[in-house]
Amino acid sequence: MAIQILLNFLIACIWMFLQSDTSTAAFLTGYFLGLLIIFAMRRAFSRRYYVYNIFAAFSLLAIFIKELLLANLSVLKVVLAPKIKASPGIFAYETNLEKPWEITVLSNLITLTPGTLVVEVSDDNKILYIHAMDMDDADKAREDIRNSFEKAIMEVSR
């Protein structure tokens, strides 16, 4: 992915030199042409066309913000309820992600999810130990993590 972006910058710079015009507009035109060229040459790269990854990163950011809002609502509900009723606990969650940065992003996401907080990551990076505010919701949380977060992160790193 990084190599495609670098190549795109290079094409934009070459375009500027061809025009002998160093304005931002020329750079943007060249960048757009570079996008087209890289799209046409996409089978020459081992990774997929990098615009998809950028979209995936933005959708991951959207998930982050949405979960942060939901998490705050649920914390508000627990904190401001007349009587504290929670059944906290720690559950183990096996992750399929492998690279360290993916696991870091996943744990940050989990921490900002309603009712869950990461306590520990096992030494082999396979199991996350997650403290949940309400163990009744833990199965739902597990499904959520598996289906939406892991998928979104994999989509970015594909």
**Which residues of this chain interact with other proteins, rule CB under 8 A?**
64, 68-69, 71-72, 75-76, 78-80, 84, 86-92, 107-108, 111-112, 115, 117-120, 122, 129, 131, 133, 135, 138
Closest to other proteins by CB, 43 vs 83, is: 83
Closest to other proteins by CB, 89 vs 99, is: 89
Taking the C-alpha atoms of residue 67 and residue 77, their distance in angstroms, rounded to an integer, is: 15
Q: What beta strand segments (E) does 24-133 contain?
A: 89-94, 116-121, 127-132
Task: Report in angstroms how near the CB of residue 130 gets to other proteins at its nearest.
Answer: 9
Taking the C-alpha atoms of residue 60 and residue 129, their distance in angstroms, rounded to an integer, is: 22
Query: Diameter of the chain by CA atoms?
Result: 71
Closest to other proteins by CB, 16 vs 63, is: 63
DSSP 148: I
